[in-house]
């Protein structure tokens, strides 16, 4: 019986131990399951956070990628502009050397002409003066001075004008070299100012149009051109060949009464929206609108037929000025045929850098034109001086002939007076000896000559 109790106790203990261990195991499994659920929940939250962070980094990556592409495009454009500037600088150097050589040759030629004139003048003057020096009186010398002094003054003025023209040409070439070095800096500064002002103007088309004209005027001021005949015109008004009234923004004057027309009223509203867009799809949308806006303006500008104005002698195209380099680059990147599209409609698109380079070239053309005019004036005055000198030689020869005639007339008169047979002095003295009353005496030298005879 005790064995049964003992076995029952052991069995009961085992059952209790089993139940306890089972309960403890279930409790542990519940804790593990709860912990697993908590960890799974935490993992889901981390996954959501990681996905959000991934989207943020993806947007940042796309933004940096777009900025990098823009920087690459700007770098390529800057390199192209630098190459163009280097080419212009080399051309300017060649032009400067040729001009300097030409001026040196002209100066040497003019000095040779002046030297030749001076030598011939001295030889002729010496011959005339040696031949007639003993016959010249103080009055004759004064007359020669009156003839020579104006000629001397003209020679000095001519020499001064030659020297001034040479120095001015040398200075203009030096200034051109210095201005070419500043060209790239001016382009960069204009682009930065344009971008800042565009952000401030926002979407106001009227203000943007006025501001485009302001930027255009600043470029004109920096180009070396002045408002007027040898520069540009504002507020020009005329009628086209079909009788319509036209008012271009700016007229650039060229030599030989030729002109170039510039328009600056292109809209940049879509470009401003593209710059401020946060999403890439919005940015692409506004860039397309910007390109469409430029093309629409090109069509409208072409239909105005500015180049047919009655009082203008213009090439068969109009310059369309876009005041922001970046907006111009974006449009060309979007449509590489934009230039051809505009050219087919007789419109040439220019940015601040290309327009400034064009205007600098026109300013140099005006400088060259003025130098050519000065050279023609020098040649004209040189010819006039030569003609004047020939006339002076003729006057001196006539003066010598007249002096010789005067000398012969003087000798004949003196011969009649006191040296020839039956001269007046002898007859007068005979009358006095016969008893004529007199109050004056004949000069002693004439009487001595008479006694000698």
Instruction: Provide DSSP, 230-282.
Output: TEEEES--EE-TTS-EE--SEEEEEGGGEEEEEE-----HHHHHHHH-SSHHH
Whether the CB-CB separation of 315 and 260 falls below 8 Å is answered with: yes
The DSSP bridge partners found for residue 231 are 226
pLDDT at 20: 65
Token pair 């003087």 is found at 410
- Is there a contact between 315 and 261 (Cβ–Cβ < 8 Å)? no
> Which pair of tokens denotes residue 402?
């007249």
Specify the pLDDT at position 450: 55
Q: Could you give the residue ranges of the DSSP H alpha helices within 335-423?
A: 338-344, 352-414
pLDDT of residue 437: 66
Token duo for residue 84: 């163009």
For residue 269, what pLDDT is reported? 82
Mean pLDDT along residues 25-53:
70
Distance separating alpha carbons of residues 354 and 359, to the nearest angstrom = 9
What residues contact residue 255 under an 8 Å CB cut-off, 6+ apart? 365, 366, 369
Radius of gyration of the chain (CA): 51
How many residues would you count in the chain?
453
Residue 203 has pLDDT above 50, yes or no: no
Please give the DSSP secondary-structure letter assigned to residue 324: -
For CA atoms 203, 205, 206, 208, give the dihedral sign. Answer: positive
- Both tokens assigned to 145: 């001075």
Give the tokens for residue 97: 């050397």
Separation of alpha carbons 113 and 115, rounded Å: 5
Task: Indicate the DSSP class of residue 307.
Answer: G
Confidence of residue 308 (pLDDT cuts 50, 70, 90): confident
> Is the per-residue pLDDT at 61 higher than 80?
no
In this predicted structure, what is the pLDDT of residue 243?
A: 75
Backbone dihedral angles phi then psi of residue 356, each to the nearest 5 degrees: -60, -40
Average the pLDDT over 296-307 and give the result. Answer: 85
Of 299 and 159, the structure prediction assigns the larger pLDDT to 299
What is the CA angle 73-321-179, rounded to 5? 75
> What φ, ψ does residue 442 adopt, rounded to 5°?
-70, 140
Mean pLDDT of 242-251: 80
β-pairing, 238-239 vs 318-321, is unpaired
Burial class (CB in 10 A: 0-12, 13-18, 19+), 21: exposed
At which residue do the structure tokens 């060649």 appear?
A: 94
Strand order in the sheet with 258-263: 226-227, 231-234, 250-254, 258-263, 318-321, 347-350
Using a 10 angstrom Cβ sphere, with 0-12 exposed, 13-18 middle and 19 or more buried, the burial of residue 4 is: exposed
Q: How many angstroms separate the Cα of 272 from the Cα of each of 194, 197, 267, 338, 353?
A: 12, 11, 10, 20, 20
How far apart (Å, rounded) are the C-alpha atoms in residues 423 and 404? 23
Question: In the chain, pLDDT over 70 holds for what percent of residues?
Answer: 55
Task: Tell me how far apart the alpha carbons of residues 351 and 319 are, in angstroms, rounded to a whole number.
Answer: 10
Poorest-confidence range of 205-209, 311-315, 394-398? 205-209
pLDDT (tens digit, 9 = 90+) per residue, 382-440?
Answer: 667 667 767 777 777 777 777 778 777 777 776 766 666 666 667 667 766 766 666 76
- 115 CB-near residues (< 8 Å, 6+ apart): none
CA distances from 107 to 132, 306, 370 (A): 37, 45, 17
């Amino acid at each position: 019986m005790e064995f049964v109790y003992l076995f029952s106790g052991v069995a009961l203990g085992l059952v209790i131990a089993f139940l306890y261990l089972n309960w403890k195991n279930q409790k542990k499994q519940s804790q593990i399951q709860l912990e697993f659920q908590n960890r799974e929940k935490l993992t889901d939250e981390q996954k959501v956070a990681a996905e959000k962070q991934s989207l943020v980094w993806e947007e940042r990556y796309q933004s940096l990628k777009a900025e990098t592409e823009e920087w690459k495009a700007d770098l390529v454009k800057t390199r192209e502009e630098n190459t163009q500037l280097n080419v212009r600088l080399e051309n300017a150097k060649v032009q400067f050397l040729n001009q300097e050589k030409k001026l040196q040759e002209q100066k040497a030629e003019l000095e040779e002409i002046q030297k030749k004139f001076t030598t011939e003048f001295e030889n002729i003057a010496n011959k005339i003066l040696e031949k007639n020096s003993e016959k010249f009186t103080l009055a004759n010398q004064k007359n020669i001075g009156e003839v020579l002094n104006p000629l001397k003054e003209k020679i000095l003025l001519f020499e001064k004008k030659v020297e001034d023209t040479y120095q001015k040409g040398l200075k203009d070439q030096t200034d051109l070299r210095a201005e070419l070095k500043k060209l790239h800096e001016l382009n960069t500064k204009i682009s930065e100012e344009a971008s800042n002002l565009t952000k401030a103007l926002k979407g106001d088309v009227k203000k943007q149009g006025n501001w485009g004209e302001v930027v255009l005027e600043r470029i004109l001021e920096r180009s070396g051109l002045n408002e007027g005949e040898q520069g540009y015109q504002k507020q020009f008004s005329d009628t086209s060949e079909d009788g319509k009234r036209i008012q271009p923004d700016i007229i650039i004057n060229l030599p030989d009464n030729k002109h170039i027309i510039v328009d600056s009223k292109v809209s940049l509203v879509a470009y401003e929206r593209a710059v401020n867009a946060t999403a890439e799809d919005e940015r692409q949308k506004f860039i397309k609108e910007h390109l469409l806006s430029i093309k629409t303006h090109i069509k409208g500008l072409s239909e105005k037929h500015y180049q047919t104005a009655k009082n203008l002698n213009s090439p068969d195209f109009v310059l369309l000025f876009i005041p922001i380099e970046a907006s111009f680059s974006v449009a060309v990147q979007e449509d590489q045929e934009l230039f051809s599209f505009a050219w087919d409609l007789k419109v040439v698109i220019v940015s601040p850098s290309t327009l400034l380079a064009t205007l600098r070239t026109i300013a140099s053309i005006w400088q060259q034109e003025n130098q050519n005019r000065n050279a023609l004036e020098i040649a004209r005055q040189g010819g006039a001086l030569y003609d004047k000198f020939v006339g002076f030689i003729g006057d001196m020869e006539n003066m010598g002939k007249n002096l010789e005639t005067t000398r012969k007339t003087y000798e004949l008169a003196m011969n009649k007076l006191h040296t020839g047979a039956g001269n007046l002095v002898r007859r007068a003295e005979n009358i006095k000896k016969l008893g004529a009353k007199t109050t004056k005496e004949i000069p002693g030298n004439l009487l001595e000559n008479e006694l000698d005879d």
